[in-house]
């Protein structure tokens, strides 16, 4: 063990003792302030997810996306498991270094970077950075000329609500020009990355096309004299069992594409950037019902069914969409409430949302 975890990072429970049991003990026992919402994380679930990842994607090294969930206990647990980490800003880089994560396990993957944060990466010794345009390339060349650059390419993410490729990622047509520009700047381009987005979990073939596109960019790089050896598959892996496509099915598609375009022994280090895959099912949020009122069904936005009551109950809870429930805005999520035993409808749990700011 690398020594990232300490006893203060977790609570050991007896076998058979569930997360819900712990939540009820914390809330009914009065150990939490009334009206305060809080999360409980099952680190055992995180460990199981990691073992599942290694089993199904044996050639891929996971780099956890810190912006998805920066809880120190989670980061320490993942560091203990040997994961690398993907950062998007200065604060995340510093947090990982404070925990003790070595710089060779940290990559700076945001294609849109502030110059000050590029300089911070250089000071910390973080070497692998991403780019998708000439301006970013020039910025890194000025502030971190020894960086090893990874060219992020656009993907077909039309099924993803985020549509990241509308703002991030270079088109295949522009890749040769960007590689030639990097050559003129004496910048070393060592690989290719992409990100299909979590919303593409319903279409794992998005990975196949992106891996095929990456192969083309590798060939461009070889023609220009680059020794490209990193393929970053990005994220988009489902974190809950209610996804349209199971993780095993997605992994099978990815493995087949890798065998075709980047076969074993080709000398390419294959990375991925899972985020919510590791934490979505591990976190449960406890909230308190602070008020309720009866309203007409049409006012509540519900369609009245035959024989149904003409009124509905609206509950007000101790969290909102600008806090822990921001997943409702960002991901069109629909958190499922679970009423606490013996709570008289005053305490409830929302489960399965451990990503993007602990949601």
Query: For residue 137, what is the domain's CATH number?
Result: 3.20.20.10
In this structure, are 269 and 303 located in the same domain? no
1 assigned to some structural domain: no
Instruction: Spell out the per-residue pLDDT of the chain, length 359, in tens.
Output: 456 666 565 666 666 666 666 667 666 655 555 667 788 888 889 999 999 999 999 999 999 999 999 998 899 999 999 999 999 999 999 999 999 999 999 999 998 899 999 999 999 999 999 999 999 999 999 999 999 999 999 987 555 555 555 568 999 999 999 999 999 999 999 999 999 876 555 678 889 999 999 999 999 999 999 999 999 999 989 988 877 889 999 999 999 999 999 999 999 999 999 999 999 988 888 888 888 888 876 665 555 555 555 678 888 888 888 887 887 777 777 787 877 765 544 555 555 545 543 33
- Give the separation between CA 288 and CA 224, rounded to whole angstroms: 60
Query: Nearest-CA neighbor of 133 among 165, 181, 87, 189?
Result: 181
Among 67, 105, 119, 183, which one carries the catalytic annotation?
67
In this structure, are 257 and 116 located in the same domain? yes
The token pair that represents 110 in the structure block: 């945001």
Instruction: Count how many Cα atoms sit within 13 Å of the Cα of residue 302 in the half-sphere of its side chain.
Output: 15
Query: Nearest-CA neighbor of 109 among 90, 93, 87, 126?
Result: 87
In this structure, are 69 and 185 located in the same domain? yes
Domain count, the chain: 2
In this structure, are 321 and 287 located in the same domain? yes
Among 49, 50, 195, 358, which one carries the catalytic annotation?
195
In this structure, are 302 and 244 located in the same domain? no
The token pair that represents 239 in the structure block: 């974190």
Continuous segment of H or E residues that includes residue 181: helix 172-184
Residue 344: give its domain's CATH number: 2.40.37.10
In this structure, are 335 and 229 located in the same domain? no
Q: Which of 259, 279, 299 is a domain's end point?
A: 279
In this structure, are 37 and 47 located in the same domain? no
Known active-site residue 183? no
In this structure, are 25 and 163 located in the same domain? no
Known active-site residue 105? no
In this structure, are 168 and 307 located in the same domain? no
Q: Which domain holds residue 61?
A: 43-279
326 assigned to some structural domain: yes
The model carries a pTM of 0.84
Known active-site residue 67? yes
Number of other residues whose CB lies within 10 A of the CB of residue 359 = 28
Q: Which residues pair with 269 in a beta bridge?
A: 230
In this structure, are 100 and 63 located in the same domain? yes
10 assigned to some structural domain: no
Among 24, 92, 136, 273, which one carries the catalytic annotation?
273
Q: Which of 227, 254, 279 is a domain's end point?
A: 279
217 assigned to some structural domain: yes
């Amino acid at each position: 063990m690398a020594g990232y975890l300490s006893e203060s990072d977790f609570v050991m429970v007896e076998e058979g003792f569930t997360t819900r049991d712990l939540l009820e003990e914390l809330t009914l026992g009065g150990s939490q302030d009334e009206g305060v919402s809080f999360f409980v994380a099952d680190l055992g679930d995180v460990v199981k997810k990691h073992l599942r990842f290694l089993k199904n994607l044996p050639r891929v090294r996971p780099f956890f996306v810190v912006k998805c969930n920066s809880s120190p206990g989670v980061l320490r647990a993942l560091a203990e498991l040997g994961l690398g980490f993907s950062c998007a800003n200065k604060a995340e880089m510093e947090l990982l270094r404070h925990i003790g994560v070595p710089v060779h396990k940290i990559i700076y993957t945001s294609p849109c970077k502030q110059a000050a944060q590029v300089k911070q990466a250089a000071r910390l010794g973080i070497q692998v950075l991403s780019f998708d345009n000439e301006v970013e390339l020039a910025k890194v060349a000025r502030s971190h000329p020894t960086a090893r650059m990874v060219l992020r390419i656009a993907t077909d993410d039309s099924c993803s609500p985020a549509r990241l490729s509308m703002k991030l990622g270079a088109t295949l047509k522009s890749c040769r020009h960007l590689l030639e520009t990097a050559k003129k700047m004496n910048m070393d381009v060592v690989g290719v990355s992409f990100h299909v987005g979590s919303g593409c979990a319903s279409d794992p073939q998005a990975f196949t096309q992106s891996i095929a596109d990456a192969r083309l960019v590798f060939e461009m790089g070889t023609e220009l004299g680059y020794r490209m050896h990193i393929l970053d598959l990005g994220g988009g892996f489902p974190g809950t069992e209610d996804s349209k496509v199971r993780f095993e099915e997605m992994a099978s598609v990815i493995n087949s594409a890798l065998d075709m375009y980047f076969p074993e022994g080709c000398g390419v280090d294959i990375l991925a950037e899972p985020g919510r895959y590791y934490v979505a099912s591990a976190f449960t949020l406890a909230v308190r019902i602070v008020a309720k009122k009866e309203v007409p069904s049409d006012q509540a936005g519900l369609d009245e069914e035959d024989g149904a009551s003409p009124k509905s109950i609206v509950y007000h809870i101790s969290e909102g969409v600008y806090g822990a429930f921001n997943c409702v805005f960002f991901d069109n999520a629909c958190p499922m409430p679970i009423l606490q035993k013996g709570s008289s409808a005053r305490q409830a749990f929302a489960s399965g949302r451990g990503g993007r700011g602990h949601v």
